[in-house]
Structure 1
Amino acid sequence: MNFQVTVLKILAAYPDGFAVMEDLKRDMAILATSGRDWADRTRRLAARVPDLDIWSQGLVERISGGWKITVKGRAVLEFMEARPAAPEPIPVPSVEQTVVASPTLVPPLRQPADRAKRRRERRERRREARERARANAS
C-alpha cells in the first residue's frame, strides 16, 4: 500500500506526471531510505483510501518505458492529502466540574533546578566511569 502511495507522490511531482522506470526507481530508493517520517506519512495517506490499487483503479498507466499518473490518480492523491474536516470542538469543563472530577491531589512537577542537578550528577558519573576505564586500560 505504501508503495502505491509513493508511486503516486513521485509521479505527481514530475511536470507532466510521467517518469521513466530508472527515475522512478531512483526516487523510490531515496524515499524508502529517508527514514520513518516518509513511512509514517505514506501510511497516514494510505489509511484515507484503504482499498487503493493504482493499476485496477486506473490511477497510473504504463506508457513506453515508464509510468504516468492519470487525472483520476491526481484526484485521489489530492483527496488523500486534503486535511480532514475540522472535528467538533471538545467542550471545556467548567471549574466546578474540574474540581469535582479530580478530588485527589496531583503532585507538583519537578522543578528545572532538579533536572539540572540530575544532569550534572549524570555527567559526573560518566566522567568518573571514563576515568576508571582509562585507568584500567593502562
Structure 2
Amino acid sequence: MNFQITVLKILASYPDGFASMADLKRDMAILATCGPEWAERTKRLGACVPELNVFSQQLVQRIEGGWRITTKGRAILDFIEARSVAAESTARPTQSLAPSRRVAPRVRRSEED
C-alpha cells in the first residue's frame, strides 16, 4: 500500500479535508485489510508521481490533533487520478465501433400464415 496516496485519499474523503490521527489510523487499517485491490490501486496511482512526499511538498498540513489536505494536495490527487484513468483507458483493448455482422436466423413461415 502506498502510504502517501492513502493519506491523500483518506483526507480528501472528509468534507473539510481534516482527519484526526485516530480517524486516519482507523481508515488506514480498514484499507490495509480490505484485500489486494487497494494496495494495487495505490501502487498504480503512486507510480504516476514517484517523488511524492505529502509533507515536504505541502500537500498535507499537520494540525493539532490530525492532518488536513491542502488545496495543492487536492489538485495533485486530482492530477494523479486523471493520469491513472488515462493510462488505464489506453491499456484496455479497444472495441470495434463497426456494427455487428451477426445475421438473425430466418424464420420459416408456414403456408397458413
Matched, 1:47 2:85: no
* Higher Rg of the two aligned structures: 1
Does the alignment pair 1:32 with 2:28? no
* Map of 2:102 onto structure 1: none
- In the alignment, what sits opposite 2:6? 6
Normalising by structure 2, report the TM-score: 0.73
Q: Which amino acid aligns with 2:19?
A: A
Structure with the bigger RCO (C-alpha within 8 Å, sep 6+) is 2
* 1:60 corresponds to: 60
**Higher fraction of helix:** 1
Matches of 1:54 and 1:63, distance apart in 2: 14
1:84 counterpart (83, 86, 90): 86
Partner of 1:74: 74
Aligned to 2:21: 21
Write the distance in 1 (CA, Å) between the matches of 2:50 and 2:23: 27
Q: Distance in 1 between matches of 2:35 and 2:4?
A: 18
Structure 1: any 5+ residue segments left out of the alignment? 91-138
- How many residues align? The count is 88
Q: C-alpha separation between the residues in 1 aligned to 2:53 and 2:4? A: 7
Aligned to 1:115: none
Q: Percent identity?
A: 68
Give 1:58's aligned amino acid: Q
Using the TM superposition, give the Cα deviation of residue 84 of structure 1 relative to its aligned residue in structure 2, in angstroms: 1.9
Moved more, 44-53 or 76-85: 76-85
- Give me the whole-angstrom Cα distance separating, in 2, the residues matched to 1:26 and 1:36: 18
In the TM superposition, residue 64 of structure 1 has moved relative to its aligned partner by 1.1
Gaps of 5+ in 2: 94-113
TM-score normalised to the size of structure 1?
A: 0.60
